[in-house]
Structure 1
Amino acid sequence: MNTRVLIILALVIAAIAGWFFKQQGEIAPPVSIAPTEVDYEATDIQAVQTNEQGETEYELNAESLSHDPNTNQDVMSGITMNWQPSAEQLYRITSGTATLNQETGDLHLYGGFSLASEDQAKTTQSGEKIAPITVTGEALKGNTKSRQVYSEQPVQVVQGSNRFEAATMKADLETGEYEFGQVAVMFTPAERQDKALF
């Protein structure tokens, strides 16, 4: 082949390539990725927190976790927490979403929560077994270091066959003491049964 044929062939290929690229239209600008506020993320979390004596204080399972370095908070979704603030008290906490500050211990559960005291075979003075308490609501705040939790939103409380609603709730999880505000109870008396006295 002579060089003239090669030059003409190269020009034809360049013309076809130019026409092809012109038909494709404008090239979109490259995607810009903004810096994120998250410095790490993880899924399927299983964590254990111990106290100063090395005893397990709580076990935490979460579907996902991300850490925000600006607020130093862990944001978790789909959490289940088994919390034992003292030898006598054990709680199971579930929530849709939660934030936890590891340094301060501040905990905020939202997207619905359930706080259930686990059965520790507690009995009354007469020997009857005490039913565990389950508190459910929309949001719960607390502190893992002080072992205090509270809700400023309405909660539903169930203990055995007893049920009531309260506008607010405070609890000391170490002692198992609860305080409820503006309690609403529905009372259904037993049906009247007429009996002859004689």
Structure 2
Amino acid sequence: MNTRVLIVLALIIAGIAGWFFQQQGEITPPVNIEATDVDYEATDIKAVQTNDEGETEYELSAESLIHNPETNQDEMSGITMDWQPSDEQRYMIEAGSAAINQQSGDLRLGGGFSLVSEEKSASDIEPIKVTGQTLMGNTKSRQVYSNEPVKVEQGMNRFTASSMTANLETGEYEFGQVAVTFTPAERQDKALF
């Protein structure tokens, strides 16, 4: 083939390509990525917190974690926490979401929570299970509270309360406006003599 034919053919292809790209219209503007208020994030979290003596205080697992530098809080979803604030008490906590400030120890559980307490030394005592929507507290003072209604179960005993305060180190609870449903045993008529 002749070089002139190849040059003419290349010019025709370049002209068609130029016309084709010109007909495609405007190129959409590039994606604008803005700065977020998230410092770091992770998924499938497993963490251990120790006390000043190096003993494990709590173990935590979560589906996801986001650290917000503006509030200095770790915001998590789908958490499970095994908390042992003293030699006598152990707590299993589950919640839909949580926010923890590592410096101050402030804790907020939301999306529904379950707090199950066990006394390590007394195996014959039934564990106490407290459920509700929101639980606030502090990991350093080992105090938790809820100003919303909670449901409390211990063995066959059940009641609801309008609020709750608990010292997790000692295992002491205080409940406000307790409502109990009592179902007595069925009456059985018997002759006395």
Contact 2:88-2:121 at 8 Å conserved across structures: no
Q: Provide the rounded CA distance (Å) in 2 between the counterparts of 1:132 and 1:4.
A: 93
Q: Which residue of 2 aligns with 1:174?
A: 169
Q: Which residue of 1 aligns with 2:139?
A: 144
How big is the shift at 1:120?
2.3
Q: Provide the rounded CA distance (Å) in 2 between the counterparts of 1:131 and 1:162.
A: 10
Deviating more after overlay: 96-105 vs 184-193: 184-193
Contact 2:75-2:100 at 8 Å conserved across structures: yes
Aligned: 1:48 with 2:48: yes
Q: Which residue of 2 aligns with 1:66?
A: 66
Q: Provide, for residues 138-190 of structure 1, a one-character-per-residue CA deviation record: whole Å limited to 9, x for no partner.
A: 11000000000001111111000011111111100011011111111111111
| 4+ runs deviating over 6 angstroms | none
Q: Which residue of 2 aligns with 1:90?
A: 90
Q: Provide the rounded CA distance (Å) in 2 between the counterparts of 1:27 and 1:117.
A: 61
Q: Which residue of 2 aligns with 1:131?
A: 126
How big is the shift at 1:130?
1.7
Q: Provide the rounded CA distance (Å) in 2 between the counterparts of 1:116 and 1:77.
A: 19
5+ residue gaps, structure 1: 124-128
Contact 2:113-2:135 at 8 Å conserved across structures: yes
Q: 1:119 to 1:89 in 2, by over 3 A?
A: closer
How big is the shift at 1:121?
4.7
Q: Which residue of 1 aligns with 2:37?
A: 37
1:181-196 paired onto structure 2 within 5 Å: 181-196=176-191
Instruction: Tell me the amino acid that sits aligned with residue 25 of structure 2.
Output: G
Q: Provide, for residues 83-107 of structure 1, a one-character-per-residue CA deviation record: whole Å limited to 9, x for no partner.
A: 0111000000001110000000000
Q: Which residue of 2 aligns with 1:116?
A: 116
Q: Provide the rounded CA distance (Å) in 1 between the counterparts of 2:126 and 2:120.
A: 10
Aligned length: 193
What SS does structure 2 have at the residue aligned with 1:12? helix
Q: Provide the rounded CA distance (Å) in 1 between the counterparts of 2:119 and 2:12.
A: 85
Q: Provide the rounded CA distance (Å) in 1 between the counterparts of 2:192 and 2:180.
A: 33
Contact 2:44-2:63 at 8 Å conserved across structures: yes
The alignment's C-alpha RMSD in Å is 1.6
5+ residue gaps, structure 2: none
What SS does structure 1 have at the residue aligned with 2:89? coil
Identity %: 73
Q: Which residue of 2 aligns with 1:79?
A: 79
Q: Provide the rounded CA distance (Å) in 2 between the counterparts of 1:79 and 1:21.
A: 53
